[in-house]
Amino acid sequence: MSKRNKIIYWVTTIWLALGMFSTGMVQLTQAKDGPGGAVSMAHLGYPPYLSILLGIYKLLGVIVVLVPGFPLLKEWAYAGFFFIMSGAVFSHIASGYAIQEIFPALLLLLLTVISWYIRPANKRIMKTKLYASEPKS
């Protein structure tokens, strides 16, 4: 991995982790204001308990993405972040939010995709020899 890609990976991953941690804490504590806060979730039509669940998932995902090792769990964390943030973007659009209110979710979605795409080889699921020896279809 080139130095440029390492820098891009760590900048996007740190920003992603900070964004997911902060919104996860807002949701977990049931704070009224802020992205993903209780007022926003209620306006979107979601029940209060969903915020707590999303907050827990976001915090666990941040830990998995930042801790070395566990490539399979990292894949799950990135997939979870993608599902959560794409759902947030769609929910905001469907509820008629203005673009400036959709931007935080869109930014976290973009950071998720970039961080996942550019991650180093040691953070990817490696193919074993079992798969390498199978004939190509």
3-state secondary structure the chain: CCHHHHHHHHHHHHHHHHHHHHHHHHHHCCCCCCCCCHHHHHHHCCCHHHHHHHHHHHHHHHHHHHCCCCHHHHHHHHHHHHHHHHHHHHHHHHCCCCHHHHHHHHHHHHHHHHHHHHCCHHHCCCCCHHHHCCCCC
Give the pLDDT of residue 136.
Answer: 55
Q: By the 8 A CB rule, do 91 and 44 touch?
A: yes
Give the pLDDT of residue 130.
Answer: 39
Mean pLDDT by 10 residues, the chain (137 residues): 92 97 92 79 89 95 94 95 96 91 94 94 66 49
Quote the CA–CA distance of 110 and 22 in Å, as a whole number.
Answer: 17
Kindly list the domain boundaries of the chain, sorted by start residue. Answer: 3-132
Give the pLDDT of residue 67.
Answer: 95
